[in-house]
With several copies, the nearest count.
Chain A
Amino acid sequence: MTTTANSTGRAPEAGRSEPVLSVGDLTITFPASRGGRGGSQDGGLNVLDALSLDVHDGEFVAVLGPSGCGKSTLLRALGGLLDPRAQVEGTIAVPSDASGRRATAWMPQRDGLLPWRRAMANAMVGAIAAGVPRDRAYPRAQQLFEEFGLAGFERAWPHELSGGMRQRLALLRTCLAERPVLLLDEPFGGLDPVTRRRMNAWLATVHLTEQAAAADAVARDASTTGSGVVLVTHDIDEAMTLADRIVVLSDRPGRLLYEARARQGGEERYDRGSLLSALDC
């Protein structure tokens, strides 16, 4: 059951242009763990099942689905970070930059802060890894520490930060990489509602503009395509507010269960009812 709704102004119609990022018939199976996983999973665990998904230029795609269905695995596959033991079938195509590297920036579900770097140094990891010059990244980082409510914690060690602060720092780090395609794995999971809405708004407005600029910059060098965001979340409201398209995966093995495009103009961007019923399956 695949439902398609209208698209927003930014996101082009499906099939109209080459997708920025594309997954075709992706099936991922994890082998039995060493010493056996035991129970029904022996002989391998099928996580994603013939999943196809395109992200077009400027599009913001939210991925929803039950816990353990393969959302993080999908994001890892897009980021080129899959466990090498995983068996992968199907096609994955992601944009690359001038130097031939993936044009993606991935934010792991468990923040991935480096224990041996202070908060600011952890933020700069994004810039360093992506090759963003320090004199551009550092002032921006300072400003984002302010905006993200982390000011004063520049020199704190990760273990001295609260769970939500860690997550904000991880998002900050990801944004400093200035990559055209963002792969965000539950970036707002540990935040209180107020902070969450604030961060949502920030991502929607400020960042998407900058990201498109980054994509343009990359595109000028290479002959690559534009920008995009893939956001994994469990928050339906967040998905409906932010995303141009919502994708719901089924229980493991994750298959495409539901897909909807945001309605242009109107008050209700999505049909909440059908979305909820897809999630309740």
Chain B
Amino acid sequence: MIGATHRTQRVPGSRLRAALIGTATVAVLVAAWEAAVRIGNLPPFVLPRPSQVVATAVEQAPLLGPHVATTATEAVLGLAMGTMLGWLLAVLTSAFPTSGQISHPVVLLSQTIPTVVLAPLMILWAGYGLTPKVTLVALTVFFPVLVAATAAIRDVDAEYSDTVAGLGGGKAHQMWLVRLPASVPGALAGLRIAATYAVGAAVVSEYLAGESGIGVFIQRSRKAYAVDQIFVGIALIAILSALMVAAIVALRRVATPWQTNLVST
């Protein structure tokens, strides 16, 4: 016999819990890294200790601000542009399959051409400024959004489009009332992937032709064989990426209020 006397039960503060566990995991990882370097006696040239990296970061702090600002700007702009593009294309191609069949090879190409090849052409076309970098980030970002949103639209129950069509709704109505909202969770999943890549893509684009940015900082550090500075750069990438992802997760709560089962990840 399963028995229970209830007094108002509530969901536990799972968001706080998640943050705590996440922080603890990072702390354990960093400690493990420190221990591994000390025990394995690796030369700092191969893998510096986190304590060294922190020391370097503190020392270099005044330098880092502008670099971080540049990269963050590129990443955010690229993410916004790429998301719009990917989502619109997803909705468009789901409504007009032929447009999908036409754009498909172009999209695939845009994802398979290595950046090193694309970059010179991009510079030819857009110069050295922010544009080519934002474009490269957008190019990285739009694809996961496109694919995940397309899948979400496709997987939406035919019941819903039928309902709208059965009330006299045309293609545009089905798009606006069913496809677009149905694509939101998928687009957000794509965006979650894209947000993780955005900062990295911005950094790579800075390798190609940058004067400022975390990518430039890392590249200079590499040329100067300053391995600890490279790791400062990596830590910055990780932190920026984590912030982007956190923003997307928060966005999901706002953008899909009908979903109550919003647990973790």
A touching B, CB within 8 angstroms: yes
25 A–B contacts from the bound complex (CB under 8 Å): A81-B162, A81-B166, A84-B9, A89-B8, A90-B5, A91-B4, A91-B5, A92-B3, A93-B4, A100-B2, A102-B168, A106-B162, A107-B166, A112-B160, A114-B181, A116-B181, A125-B164, A129-B165, A130-B167, A130-B169, A157-B257, A179-B167, A183-B166, A224-B1, A225-B1
Question: CA separation between A96 and B4, bound complex, in Å?
Answer: 13
Q: Is the CB of A90 within 8 A of B6?
A: yes
Residue of A nearest to B155 (CB): A115
Q: Is the CB of B8 within 8 A of A88?
A: yes
Contact A95/B2 with A34-B257, A101-B168 known, Cβ cut-off 8 Å: yes
**Which one of B75-83, B140-148, B170-178, B234-242 is at the interface?**
B170-178
Q: Which residues of A contact B162 (CB under 8 A)?
A: 76, 81, 106, 108, 112
A105 interface residue per 8 A CB criterion: yes
Q: Is the CB of A89 within 8 A of B6?
A: yes
Question: CA separation between A35 and B253, bound complex, in Å?
Answer: 12
- Contacting residue for A92 out of B6, B158, B164, B178, CB 8 A: B6
Q: Give per-residue flags for B231-256: 1 if the beta carbon is below 8 A from chain A beta carbons, else 0.
A: 00000000000000000000000001
Q: Which 10 A-B pairs have the closest CB atoms?
A: A106-B166, A129-B169, A112-B163, A88-B6, A93-B3, A129-B167, A130-B168, A116-B181, A87-B8, A79-B166
B184 interface residue per 8 A CB criterion: yes
Q: Is the CB of B169 within 8 A of A108?
A: no
Binding site for B on A (CB under 8 A): 34-35, 76, 79-81, 83-85, 87-97, 100-108, 110, 112-117, 125-126, 128-131, 157-159, 173-174, 177, 179, 183, 224-225
Question: CA separation between A273 and B178, bound complex, in Å?
Answer: 46
In this complex, the interface size class of chain B, counting residues with CB under 8 Å from chain A, is 20 to 34
B112 interface residue per 8 A CB criterion: no
Contact residues of B: prevailing secondary structure: mixed
Question: CA separation between A84 and B6, bound complex, in Å?
Answer: 12
Question: CA separation between A76 and B165, bound complex, in Å?
Answer: 11
Q: Which of B120-171 contact A (CB under 8 A)?
A: 158-160, 162-170
Q: Is the CB of A108 within 8 A of B163?
A: yes
Q: Is the CB of B1 within 8 A of A106?
A: no
Q: Is the CB of B3 within 8 A of A131?
A: no
Residue of B nearest to A31 (CB): B10
Residue of B nearest to A86 (CB): B9
Residue of A nearest to B184 (CB): A116
Q: Is the CB of B257 within 8 A of A114?
A: no
Residue of A nearest to B6 (CB): A88
Q: Which residues of A contact B101 (CB under 8 A)?
A: none
Q: Is the CB of B9 within 8 A of A88?
A: yes
Q: Which residues of A contact B257 (CB under 8 A)?
A: 34-35, 157
- Contacting residue for B177 out of A89, A114, A131, A158, CB 8 A: A114
B7 interface residue per 8 A CB criterion: yes
Question: CA separation between A197 and B9, bound complex, in Å?
Answer: 39
Q: Which residues of B contact A92 (CB under 8 A)?
A: 3-4, 6
Choose among A97, A102, A179, A224 the residue with the greatest number of B CB atoms under 10 Å from its CB. Answer: A102
Q: Which of B51-101 contact A (CB under 8 A)?
A: none
